[in-house]
Amino acid sequence: MAENIRVAVAGAAGRMGKEVVKMVLEDPTLQLVAAVNLSDEGLDAGTLVGLPPCGVTLSQDLELALVESRPQVLVDFTTPQSAYSNTVLAIKLGVSPVVGTTGFTPEQIEDLDKQCQERGIGGLIAPNFSVGAILMMKFAAQAAKYFPHLEIIEYHGDQKLDAPSGTAVKTAELIAKNREELRQGNPEEEELIDGSRGGYYSGFRIHSVRLPGVFAQQEVIFGGFGQTLKIRHDSYERAGYMPGVNIAIKKVLEYEGMIYGFEHFVD
């Protein structure tokens, strides 16, 4: 019988990190070996997420935790300011990174891919781990072949740091692969309030809504002669992302190089 996959979690005391810790502890094929966070040092990771103590306590030093615990996979849900350096460190130590933090530039992703290739390991950077969201992206990319006029509207809580969301950006990138750039709307239109038409991407617009009480939703609206098509996905809680994170932890060990987008792991 194969040994359990050894997993470390960075950002373990964050909202997503806690869900990852709980998911890993509840999966008998995974083994939590390290939990890293800038606060709550010394607290048992099981206690942190409302489970029995597991013997793994929170640490502030990622490098020391990785060296001592020897994980196969590092799951990172930290901040854009630290995720890149965390990922570089993991690759250097031969640990496959699974990163849910957004904000990576194309140049950084290319550099990380090169580092993974040189180390002979796989990695994943995913703006969204929801299987439903990935299907929404794929359906939207397919629809764009037939409905080139479209707009993306994404909704998140008012404390979200980036706009548009990583999911919206990834959706736009997938759509752009299936659609020639087409500048939509009246060519003589005038914005009476700056930004009212949303952000411009490859001819279409992306709108970011930020309100308290909202978790995470996105819809892609397509318009054609005499008809519209709406493809929408709604997330209601962070636990909904965990089946995808679970898949990523297990599949990333089968790859070599840095993969951008969880859709590559969903057949």
Q: What is the pLDDT of residue 225?
A: 93
Domain tally, the chain: 2
Which strands make up the sheet holding 204-210, listed edge to edge?
199-201, 204-210, 149-156, 216-224, 227-235
- Average the pLDDT over 39-48 and give the result: 92
What percentage of the chain has pLDDT greater than the value 70?
A: 99
* Band of residue 1 on the pLDDT scale cut at 50, 70, 90: very low
Instruction: Clarify whether residues 92 and 193 are in a common domain.
Output: no
101 marked among binding-site residues: yes
118 and 137 inside one domain: no
CATH code, domain carrying 90 = 3.40.50.720
Q: Which structural domain range is residue 200 located in? A: 131-236
Q: What integer best gives the mean pLDDT of the chain?
A: 93
For residue 18, give every residue at least 6 positions away whose Cβ sits within 8 Å of its Cβ, in sequence order, or none. 12, 48, 49
Mean pLDDT for the stretch of residues 196-216:
94
CA 116 to chain centre: 19
Q: What is the pLDDT of residue 111?
A: 96
1 is in an annotated binding site: no
| Same domain membership, residue 31 and residue 93 | yes
* Domain identity same for 169 and 252: no
195 within 8 A of 135, measured Cβ to Cβ: no
Task: Give the strand pairing for 216-224 and 227-235.
Answer: antiparallel
22, 114, 145, 156: the active-site residue: 156
Same domain, 223 and 135: yes
The answer to the question of whether 11 is labelled as a binding residue is yes
pLDDT at 80 over 90: no
Could you tell me which residue, 236 or 44, shows the higher pLDDT? 44
Does residue 160 have an active-site annotation?
A: yes
Given a contact cutoff of 8 angstroms between Cβ atoms, the answer to whether 99 and 83 are in contact is yes
Per residue in 226-261, pLDDT (tens digit) is 999 999 999 888 888 999 999 999 999 999 999 998
The pLDDT value recorded for residue 40 is: 86
Phi-psi region of 34 (alpha: psi -120 to 50; beta: other; left: phi over 0): beta
Give residue 140's pLDDT. 97
Q: Where does the pLDDT of residue 102 fall: very low under 50, low under 70, confident under 90, or very high at 90 and above? A: confident
Checking if the pLDDT of 168 tops 90, the result is yes
- Any binding-site annotation on 147? no
Residues 198 and 224 in one domain: yes
In angstroms, the CA 194 to CA 11 distance is 37
Query: Is the pLDDT score of 166 beyond 70?
Result: yes
Residues 32 and 159 reside in one and the same domain: no
Each residue of 109-150: pLDDT tens digit? 999 999 999 999 999 999 889 889 999 999 999 999 999 999
Per-residue pLDDT, 128: 85
Q: Which two tokens stand for residue 147?
A: 């409905």
Q: Could you tell me if 142 and 113 lie in one domain?
A: no
The predicted pLDDT at position 2 comes to 57
Do 121 and 243 fall into the same domain?
yes
Closest-CA residue to 264 (of 110, 129, 90): 129
Residues 36 and 143 in one domain: no
Q: Is 122 annotated as a binding residue?
A: no
CATH number of the domain enclosing 158? 3.30.360.10
**Catalytic residue of the set 114, 138, 149, 160:** 160
Contact 78, 86 (CB under 8 A): yes
Q: Is the pLDDT of residue 23 over 90?
A: yes
One domain for residues 12 and 100:
yes
Give me the amino acid identity at 110: E
Residue 20's pLDDT band, with cuts at 50, 70 and 90, is: very high
Tell whether the model's pLDDT for residue 91 goes beyond 90: yes
Q: What is the mean pLDDT of residues 81-92?
A: 95
Q: Do 20 and 90 belong to one domain?
A: yes
